[in-house]
Amino acid sequence: MHWERASEDIYIFTSDRYAQVTATLIASGNTGILIDTLPFPSETAQIALFARKRCPDGVRFIIYTGHEADHVYGAFLFPKAEIIAHEKCREVLAERGAAALARAKEQSPEFAPVHMRLPTITFGGGSTTLRVPGKTLEIFHTPGHTPDSVSVLLQEEKILFAGDTVMALPTIASGDSDQLKQSLDLIGSMQLENIVQGHGEMILRGEIKDNIKRQVNYLDNVRSKVQKFIEEGGTRENAKTITIESCGMQRVLLNGMVVALHQANVLALYDRLSPPPKAEPVKPVKLVKPVKPAKAVAEAKTPARAVSSKKAKPVAKPKAKPAAKKPAAKPIAKSAKAPLKTKAKAKPVRPTNIKPAKRVKNVKGR
């Protein structure tokens, strides 16, 4: 980590370990205001040691310019400080901060002592003002890099601490390019002496207009190139062939890390600008002609018995009706009272004289 003095009471610290991320200490008498922290505890510990010497009463306020880890992980080293941020920042940290920190601890034991500190003072409107002896800080919403991004204007010095809204390469992987352009246009219209970027060197007054214009042009170029690439049928993987140079930026910024940031921008835009996949057409359902209902079978007179779990007894089949043939004459039984005369022939009995036998009811066991 190295530091520089922007004015009599302003100290800017820049990480040597991660993407030239910055944090700023503003001294107000014996107390301090810290704008962001550095991601690694060892680097923020050096800021805390410096602050105790310069501000005997300690750091009173910390301002988060966004929820990302490289700006907030060092806050645990200032347990008495109030933390100011946009209300969206608190929402994101409360919802996802603990899980993200747990993953960081798994990747590196250096983050073991870190614990998440949520904002204690939030605002939801366009801006809020912090006044301390000799200093007036206007904190205002500048979304685009992330939805919760804010910038801090030190009115007396006309120095803007822009967080990641202004950095060596505009990044929108977690944000919105149109919102970021609006925030950059707002900053470009302000009368400023210096801009402290979230990553990279401080921008001096004579460089501000050109720098802001270059960043807006980059956002326009990368969007138009990705849109054209999609219209020509390019795949997501091949979108990485859109180079940072073709969009108007240099790859040497932030020690070359801007190349990875640029590719993240390209892929994010590809996903947002690609048309949604077409839904497969639904095949029309053929209408089947209704089947005529079968004629109802007459119900048996005897009601059906309830089916039980026991094995049902076989039902005796009804006897078939006798055929229409003439039945053979039955022999006449001998009678003890009237013996037959041997000489006379017996008259045949006609079938019509025989009454049909009654149908025998089903007998159990048959």
Contact 39, 70 (CB under 8 A): yes
Contact 27, 9 (CB under 8 A): yes
| Contact partners, residue 311, CB within 8 Å, separation at least 6 | none
pLDDT attached to residue 107: 95
Q: Which residue, 3, 24, 13, is CA-closest to 159? A: 24
pLDDT attached to residue 279: 72
Half-sphere exposure of 3 (CA within 13 A, CB side): 17
The string of DSSP codes covering 74-108 is GGGG-TT-EEEEEHHHHHHIIIIIHHHHHHHHHH-
pLDDT attached to residue 338: 43
Q: For the sheet containing 135-141, what is the strand order?
A: 127-132, 135-141, 150-154, 159-163, 194-197, 203-204
Contact 224, 271 (CB under 8 A): no
Q: Where are the domains of the chain?
A: 2-205
Tokens 């966004």 -> residue: 66
pLDDT attached to residue 277: 81
pLDDT attached to residue 255: 86
Other beta carbons less than 10 A from residue 104's beta carbon: 16
Positive or negative: CA dihedral 299, 300, 303, 309: negative
pLDDT attached to residue 293: 57
Q: Which residues of the chain have pLDDT under 50?
A: 296-312, 327-346, 349, 351-366
- Which contiguous run of DSSP H or E holds residue 44? helix 41-54
Residues belonging to the chain = 366
Q: In whole angstroms, give the CA distance from residue 168 to residue 37.
A: 19
pLDDT attached to residue 278: 76
pLDDT attached to residue 307: 43
pLDDT attached to residue 362: 45
pLDDT attached to residue 316: 52
| CATH number at 2-205 | 3.60.15.10
Per residue, what are the HEC states of 264-287?
HHHHHHHHHHCCCCCCCCCCCCCC
Express each pLDDT in 31-47 by its tens digit. 999 999 999 999 999 99
